[in-house]
Structure 1
Amino acid sequence: MTTSAPSTRALSSTRALSSAQGVWLVAERELSTKLRSKAYLISTAILLLMALAGVIWAGVSSANPSSTPIAATSEASAVLQDADGFDVTEVADRAAAEELVTDGTVDAALIDDASSPTGIVVIADTEAPQSLVMMLSQAPTVELLNADPANDGPLRYILGIGFGVVFMMAAMMFGMPVATSVVEEKQTRVVEILLSAMPARVLLAGKVIGNTILAISQILLLVAVGTIGLIVTGQTEVLAGLGGPVAWFAIFFLFGFILLAAMFAAAGSMVSRQEDVGATVTPVMYLTMIPYFLVIFFGDNPVVMTVLSYVPFSAPVGMPIRLFFNEAEWWEPLASLAITLVTCAIVVLLGAKIYENTLLKMGARVKFRDALRR
């Protein structure tokens, strides 16, 4: 059975190492174990390919917008001269237009008809295209004195999914193994050898730092792939707008992941069997998933988004979105980061205490109240 802990031979020669050296020894082992895993390398490659494909697809879609096929007589087609999004096929008369609509060649037909109040009739099979009807409608000019920045349509939704999925997947991919490796070390009694060579906090710090390096490296790879894709597809304007939000996302992600990794390690130390680890990590999973869904469902609500951008578990997703749409003042990300740092310090200290107190406890699952007691 493989374990993410340093080998006993390595530990026997490192009893006199400093805390920093012990931390790096454990972190190095975490890194080497992951990088030798074929499953990790394949999943990372698939993730990068999916990110690149998504960027290229978005670029191709924006460069080649879909058009609605329309049939029109010569006189009626004059109405569509300045309209975008329509592929017009000119027909001689109503009969030819109806034939194209019936066989599905076009979605609708536009013909001139003197009996119509507007002089034009739209012919469709079961339903007329809304884009065509709206284009022909005479709507008044609308001027907004206080435009709502929250109505940014699909882009806000796409950004929420993008930032949220990256944060949630990284937390699951690198946070959950921290908990399972702790349980594995307890089951195999390797933890007793580890604690004879280094303090529990050094062991915890090494695990957190090693997996944090892996997670941040994956984020940087995704950023690099996304940047290349945007440049290749000519989406330089989107790239320029995403620069700042992505940088803040990386910063928030760093401390947010450290916070979650410490919680995963503490949750793993409270049980002695792999079968029981799900019960203790479930609350941590909820803290990772719930903010993601809140950002998706309430992305167009400025009040909810403002609150979520200050909550440490959702700030990595909420704050970059607000920054992209210029909804946050210059000081807001700094204030949110300060809250995240304070929360991170408190949770890491609390997680380290639980980790120390429960790491050598075997048998039934340790309750949270008992885990805080030495």
Structure 2
Amino acid sequence: MTTTLPSPTGTTTPEEAAEGTRGAWLVVMKREIVVRALNKTFLVGLLVSVVIIAALAAFMAWQGSKTDSFTVAVPAGDTAATAAVESAASIPEAQGGGAELTTLEVPDDAAARTALAAGDADAWLHPAAGSADDGWVLTGEADPDSTLTRLLTAGVAEQTLATNAEAAGTTTAELTAGGTLTTDRLDGDAVDSQTLFFASFALALLFFLGALGSGQMIAGSVVEEKQSRLVEIMATAVPLRHLLAGKILGSSVVALAQNVVFAAVGLVALSFTPTASILPSLSTSLLWFVLFFAVGFLGLAALYAVAGALASRTEDLQHTTTPMTMAVMGVYFLTFSASGTFETVLSYVPVASVVSMPVRVLSGDAAWWEPIVSLLILAAFAVVALLVSERAYRGALLQTGGRIGWRSALTARA
């Protein structure tokens, strides 16, 4: 074991000072992680967010698995009406949907109206003007359910076609031969637009929660240490750039871990929903999101740390962090609603690319090299933000007496 002896004069040499502070950033980083991990507000917020994500997924699973049941009143002995309901009932089963239709035979119109009023039937299917040749009418206590109306419209059309085909001495199959329609898409296994919108909203929300919550925590930590004059004591033992590096890395680790937890809970929850088929594509997109967030948040964390250093009191934070908050909110609102060329452009713009590029990867719109180029651009932004923020942080941290501007911070001697 090697022991460093003090200099004969009793003072610390530059070499000894450098050796003592070389790992200061690591100590600060560990402190930031521990303090954040033990913060009750953070832990409660994390738990609430996880519960909300799980609850939303549970609601989606319930919505996807629930079956709507309808009772349709039909005239007693009317085989055409009964056949129309049976045809309508077979449509959800063929399409993988969830709806069940049953018939309730009624002797006359008065009995049908009574069944509707009593809630024994959801709708009453009967011939118009007393004859099926004039078409059919679907009557409800109020407007009939839209799903039921859609199914019975198709069921009536199918039954009518079968009746007319039989009268013409042919069959429905012969009349509809060659009339089937299938769908195809040029982009292969890309997800549908509704799922893509949901995924983009979820990624934008993850970015918003992680960037805003952790960023505000960094700024608050800096201004608290500055307002209590604790930073002046710390500055005598730890170089300010080490203090900044430790705060940035510690907060980045916590923010990234938080998003990983959210993403993992979301993926597990989605596995129980009808969208489980897109999990492989979504997992790849989430991996890109985590990588982009890890790089982009380094720059954001540095800027938030400067926002805290520019303030002299906690009350000043609202003013100094406003530009960052507006930028984060702008990314949130723009990215989940973007599409087409605008989304392509955003996928190369720091920090919007944290959300937009993973969404394009999920949609299959991005070539293999595009995420790499976008990530390099984001990394360049993070480096520039770190360099500028380090200079402003050192220039503003030890200044007191009111809010400090960026120009003053960058030109101050540190």
TM tier relative to shorter chain: 0.7 to 0.9
Matches within 5 A, 1:177-256: 177-231=217-271, 236-256=276-296
- Asked whether the equivalents of residues 76 and 111 of structure 1 are also in contact (C-alpha less than 8 Å), the reply is no
Cα deviations by residue, 1:212-244 (Å, 9 ceiling, x for unpaired): 111111122223333433456686423222110
Cα deviations by residue, 1:109-167 (Å, 9 ceiling, x for unpaired): 333445455632211233233334444267x9888898899994432332122112221
Cα deviations by residue, 1:243-277 (Å, 9 ceiling, x for unpaired): 10010010011012111111100111111111111
1:175 is matched with which residue?
215
Tell me by how many angstroms 1:344 deviates. 1.0
2:33 is matched with which residue?
31
Aligned residues: 358
Matching of residue 309 in structure 1 with residue 347 in structure 2 = yes
In 2, the alpha carbon distance for the partners of 1:324 and 1:337 equals 16
Matches within 5 A, 1:264-279: 264-279=304-319
- Asked whether the equivalents of residues 222 and 305 of structure 2 are also in contact (C-alpha less than 8 Å), the reply is yes
In 1, the alpha carbon distance for the partners of 2:327 and 2:84 equals 58
Matching of residue 328 in structure 1 with residue 328 in structure 2 = no
2:321 is matched with which residue?
281
Closer, same or farther: CA 119–42 of 1 in aligned 2, 3 Å: same
In 1, the alpha carbon distance for the partners of 2:388 and 2:133 equals 75
1:162 is matched with which residue?
202
- Asked whether the equivalents of residues 15 and 197 of structure 1 are also in contact (C-alpha less than 8 Å), the reply is no
Closer, same or farther: CA 98–159 of 1 in aligned 2, 3 Å: farther
Tell me by how many angstroms 1:16 deviates. 4.7
In 2, the alpha carbon distance for the partners of 1:230 and 1:312 equals 29
Greater Cα shift, 142-151 or 341-350: 142-151
Tell me by how many angstroms 1:361 deviates. 1.1
Greater Cα shift, 359-368 or 246-255: 359-368
The partner residue of 1:339 within 352, 377, 387 is 377
What is the SS of the residue equivalent to 2:91?
Answer: coil
- Asked whether the equivalents of residues 272 and 365 of structure 1 are also in contact (C-alpha less than 8 Å), the reply is yes
Closer, same or farther: CA 307–102 of 1 in aligned 2, 3 Å: farther
In 2, the alpha carbon distance for the partners of 1:291 and 1:115 equals 61
1:78 is matched with which residue?
86
- Asked whether the equivalents of residues 68 and 107 of structure 1 are also in contact (C-alpha less than 8 Å), the reply is no
In 2, the alpha carbon distance for the partners of 1:107 and 1:329 equals 52
2:175 is matched with which residue?
none
1:91 is matched with which residue?
104
CA RMSD of aligned residues (A): 3.0
- Asked whether the equivalents of residues 70 and 148 of structure 2 are also in contact (C-alpha less than 8 Å), the reply is no
Tell me by how many angstroms 1:19 deviates. 5.5
Matches within 5 A, 1:103-114: 103-104=118-119, 106-113=121-128
Amino acid corresponding to residue 320 of structure 1 in structure 2 = P
2:139 is matched with which residue?
123
Using structure 2 for the length normalisation, give the TM-score: 0.77
What is the SS of the residue equivalent to 1:88?
Answer: strand
Closer, same or farther: CA 112–28 of 1 in aligned 2, 3 Å: same
In 2, the alpha carbon distance for the partners of 1:118 and 1:332 equals 60
In 2, the alpha carbon distance for the partners of 1:194 and 1:261 equals 20
- Asked whether the equivalents of residues 70 and 86 of structure 1 are also in contact (C-alpha less than 8 Å), the reply is no
Closer, same or farther: CA 106–196 of 1 in aligned 2, 3 Å: farther
Matches within 5 A, 1:3-22: 16-17=18-19, 20-22=22-24
Closer, same or farther: CA 80–95 of 1 in aligned 2, 3 Å: farther
Tell me by how many angstroms 1:27 deviates. 0.5
Using structure 1 for the length normalisation, give the TM-score: 0.85
Amino acid corresponding to residue 296 of structure 1 in structure 2 = F
- Asked whether the equivalents of residues 89 and 99 of structure 2 are also in contact (C-alpha less than 8 Å), the reply is no
What is the SS of the residue equivalent to 1:228?
Answer: helix
Tell me by how many angstroms 1:363 deviates. 0.9
The partner residue of 1:49 within 48, 51, 57 is 51
In 2, the alpha carbon distance for the partners of 1:371 and 1:353 equals 8
**Percent of pairs identical after alignment?**
31
In 2, the alpha carbon distance for the partners of 1:78 and 1:312 equals 57
- Asked whether the equivalents of residues 70 and 107 of structure 1 are also in contact (C-alpha less than 8 Å), the reply is yes
Q: Which runs of 5+ in 1 are unaligned?
A: 1-13
Q: Determine which structure has more spread, i.e. the larger CA radius of gyration.
A: 2
